[in-house]
Amino acid sequence: MIGVAILFIVLGILIKYGKMYWLIAGYNTMPKKDKEKYNIEGIANVFRNAMFGMALIIILGYLIAKLTENPSIQNYASWTAMIIGIPYLLIVSNSKKYYNKDKGKTD
């Protein structure tokens, strides 16, 4: 599970700081005109925060499982990270907050 946490951290870094927006499903297939309608920097922040948050929950679950010698805690933490992180990512990144109203208008 630590590997999954590391993957989430790497993805968060690549999307936000590496500007690899093509990793965001749907964004890479949009026409350029449609891409201009979205605040991709804001969406990248959401992705970074969600990925880092899920990684943190997984790592904490791993450490607590090792300290308590109860491996099931790691599973609970991993599932909790997914159950909270994925809906958060989908809901917040698709909110109107990241839609550029002025660029969405047609002349």
21: pLDDT confidence band, cut at 50, 70 and 90?
confident
Asked if residue 107 has pLDDT above 50, the reply is no
- CA 9, 2, 50: angle at the middle one, nearest 5? 35
pLDDT band at 103 (very low <50, low <70, confident <90, very high): low
Could you give the dihedral angle defined by the CA atoms of residues 83, 89, 91 and 95, in that order, rounded to the nearest 10 degrees?
A: 170
101 or 84, which is more confident: 84
Averaged pLDDT score across all residues of the chain = 87
Is the predicted pLDDT of residue 100 greater than 80, yes or no? no
**How sure is the predictor about 53, in pLDDT bands with cuts at 50, 70 and 90?**
very high
Give the pLDDT score at 9: 93
